[in-house]
Amino acid sequence: MLDLTESWYCPNCHLEETIPRVANPHTRFHTCPKLHMLTAPMVPAGTRARVEQRDREDYVRDELVTRDDRGRPVMSIVTTRDDGTDAVVFAPTATGEIGQ
- Cα–Cα dist 63/92, whole Å: 6
* pTM of the complete model: 0.81
Q: Residue 17 burial (CB < 10 Å; 0-12/13-18/19+)?
A: middle
pLDDT, residue 49, reads 96
pLDDT, residue 61, reads 85
pLDDT tens string, the chain, 100 residues long: the values are 676 889 999 999 999 999 888 777 788 999 999 999 999 999 999 999 999 999 999 888 888 999 999 999 999 999 999 999 999 999 988 787 888 6
pLDDT, residue 41, reads 95
Angle at 79 between CA 32 and CA 52, to 5 degrees: 55
**Which helix (H) or strand (E) segment is 49 a member of?**
strand 49-55
pLDDT, residue 99, reads 81
Boundaries of every domain in the chain: 5-89
